[in-house]
Structure 1
């Protein structure tokens, strides 16, 4: 077919967006300008081009609002659990499993992955850092290895599959025009391959430094981190003695097994702690919800897997999975706030939901205008965005791909690596999610031409984008939070993770076209 000015404008927009991503700049403005120009050239009306800026974001918001809502409800539930101290109790029992460096490695990986599947790594990282990290270091796990494990298991494995909340698969599948369920299933397999390979390499690299249970490991970790802070402030004189004495004093006043902020320290008892107000009742409630919430979510995953692989229960399809998780999260939220606040729970529940919505739009709001541009290239959405109803609506991206058909590799293996590289480039902007509309759109357009399932390519692109920008391979991402709680330099952490993760991504991509 003949390419029009709208096609070339759309192509220029894609090129500029990729270039801006490589430069590590925000791509909202280029996406909005590209939407305006493409809609103007397609409709032939300047006014319609301006209107399409709003229509594109509105279309994207309506398609993606279920994603925003599930994030809000999960965040609201976590806020209610935090208010009663239950979120800390969920992971505290695992401290007893960490008897040496190797056991600590496995424990932190498993707990981080499990918690991050349901609550996302952003709130999980401070939780793991406050409760498990000091115990892991005391058990003989080096701080750098511990930080790498948290990043790979949480912000890599859990976030790249996003199997429970399904934000990432939803973005990828919507842009590719395929089922969210299929993308989620394939992303889960690829994330496990990538993560297990990466964890194995990190373990192999650091195994010689793993030690046995000793209080000295934690004292040294605290002393070195305090010394680093002091040196940054130019207070090098006397640092070694001061930090050693400070660490010893800290250990002296901290009750055995107490958490930061607990016991007889200056912080006093934490909410839901052993000496919380109201006697033993807050403690019992905190323990009950610390047990109830993970068991409930584990039961949901079990139910979904049972429906997928057996005929015992009906299969949970499409948006029903997100609806089931969101509905259960809301019921647990209501139960939690009323158990703590009684009649005031009506107000508290609403406050937590509002806080969750604020967090959701802060975390994902930037995706809306970006997704609007890529939706403009889809024949299913271009009429809604531009208002032009005459004739057969064009699929701008697919038409561009068809025009370049002779240059597209027919080899699915090569194409999968091309999509992976595209995902990694889009992940350079540091969020891991902003590039998913692009990788999804390219997967939907390129897959049929190369005889590869678009859902597989969308999952591969999701791996590249989220593993890179979600908080593992770039220092300007949420990897900063991991480095902060582990008290290690973030650039050193990037170097420590880079080769294991890249090898894992290569292994997963190589197997993708074989397995699916």
Structure 2
């Protein structure tokens, strides 16, 4: 029988404090660092060793997330190079011409955001898709608020919660759930992601349809086109970029590349496109400096996104056996693992109760406004629960990933939709008001689906 000690209660108390702080819309990096110090001090009894434990935990977390940080940096660098050449404008023009009415514009804008977000992530995708396609969508009859909703639901919701190509989210979830290959999370998440996405988008489209009927006069004045240089070089890059990524997808399928191999292919392709774009745009003389600049900017963007995730992950990695042993020593068990065993040995846990508890915790973690910050705990809890109840670990982790990112990735948290609100010139709170009912419908449908298929 597992017995809990002071260190377990302190660890659990810090987790409760972190979730509570998230509910008050505050960052949780400082509480995680304090938690690391407290756990380290109780474990070692030494201030010096507890300080060293803080560093070792962050180092362990950094090593776990390094691959993800690098791929995001490289993809962002490619995005900046495309934008500087104007190739992004050329790639978007055919889609802009298809938006003939508000409803069609909603889905074209949304699916374009989904595809680009899969390959370059929502944050950089918002910048050039929003600036290039939103004016055309508004001109076709789509109100600004619904253009923002389309970018948000398809980018921060559908794309980020799946992350099938860059595989940042499933990699984090898999690592903390002690699953060797993120493809297991991807496969398990697909039916849950489909239900969540379909119910949310359809619900949102129905509400939008009612709103559009109430609008009598749509401003269809000419929107000033964004002028960028269009020459053979920019057209060439605009053509070969999607071709390269289509070839990547085909190669992944044919050679069954997955996990790190698939990520390596995407990352290498992004680097090649960035270099080609720089050579076309600036010629060899100036390309040396520009490539360095793009890499630096991409790395700064990636670290800005993942720096807090690394610290938060450092604390939650203490919850699982493998990472806790790497941080504290080989004689240590993961604290959440012990707590989960303690609870399971004294209570009757069922599949339904585990799914419901896991879903509630996932939603609470998302309230912090950063879906990725909650993934380390989601993965760790999935490992704990699956060890005590007959339930698939990958599916449970995938359920938590989908819910956490839909909530916290930027759909129903006002401060996480600010970039999209700024692009579309709308109030972030208004975006949340439009999103909250469809997203809640989607979460309920996803939980019910999980109960039947897990």
TM-score scaled to structure 2, two decimals?
0.94
> Is the Cα contact below 8 Å between 1:158 and 1:191 reproduced in 2?
no
C-alpha RMSD of matched pairs (Å): 2.2
Task: Tell me the alpha carbon deviations over residues 346-367 of structure 1, each in whole angstroms, 9 at most, x when there is no partner.
Answer: 2211111111111111111011
Output aligned runs, 1:343-354, within 5 Å. 343=284, 344-354=286-296
Q: Distance in 1 between matches of 2:238 and 2:424?
A: 25
Q: Distance in 1 between matches of 2:348 and 2:249?
A: 38
What is the aligned partner in structure 2 of residue 472 from structure 1? 411
Task: Tell me the alpha carbon deviations over residues 425-453 of structure 1, each in whole angstroms, 9 at most, x when there is no partner.
Answer: 11111121111111111111012212111
What is the aligned partner in structure 2 of residue 483 from structure 1? 421
> Is the Cα contact below 8 Å between 1:145 and 1:202 reproduced in 2?
no
- Count of residues in correspondence between the two structures: 451
What is the aligned partner in structure 2 of residue 376 from structure 1? 318
Task: Tell me the alpha carbon deviations over residues 288-332 of structure 1, each in whole angstroms, 9 at most, x when there is no partner.
Answer: 21222123223323433x3xxxxxx33213311111111111111
Q: More deviation in 69-78 or 490-499?
A: 490-499
What is the aligned partner in structure 2 of residue 412 from structure 1? 351
Cα offset, 1:393, TM superposition: 2.7
Cα offset, 1:513, TM superposition: 4.3
Output aligned runs, 1:356-371, within 5 Å. 356-371=298-313
Output aligned runs, 1:74-473, within 5 Å. 74-178=75-179, 179-210=181-212, 217-219=218-220, 258-260=224-226, 262=227, 270=228, 272-273=229-230, 283-304=231-252, 306=253, 313-343=254-284, 344-386=286-328, 388-389=329-330, 392-405=331-344, 410-473=349-412
Q: Distance in 2 between matches of 1:57 and 1:138?
A: 49
Distance change in 2, residues 1:295/1:26 (3 Å):
same
Indicate the structure with greater helix content: 2
> Is the Cα contact below 8 Å between 2:167 and 2:259 reproduced in 1?
no
Cα offset, 1:8, TM superposition: 1.9
TM-score scaled to structure 1, two decimals?
0.83
In structure 2, stretches of 5+ residues that fail to align are: none
Distance change in 2, residues 1:298/1:504 (3 Å):
farther
Which of 424, 427, 432 is the equivalent residue of 1:494? 432
What is the aligned partner in structure 2 of residue 245 from structure 1? none
Q: More deviation in 183-192 or 428-437?
A: 183-192
Task: Tell me the alpha carbon deviations over residues 169-228 of structure 1, each in whole angstroms, 9 at most, x when there is no partner.
Answer: 1111111111311112333442332122111111111214447xx9x6235xxxxxxxxx
- Aligned-partner SS, 1:471: coil
What is the aligned partner in structure 2 of residue 509 from structure 1? 447
Q: Distance in 1 between matches of 2:423 and 2:258?
A: 38
Q: Distance in 1 between matches of 2:72 and 2:405?
A: 17
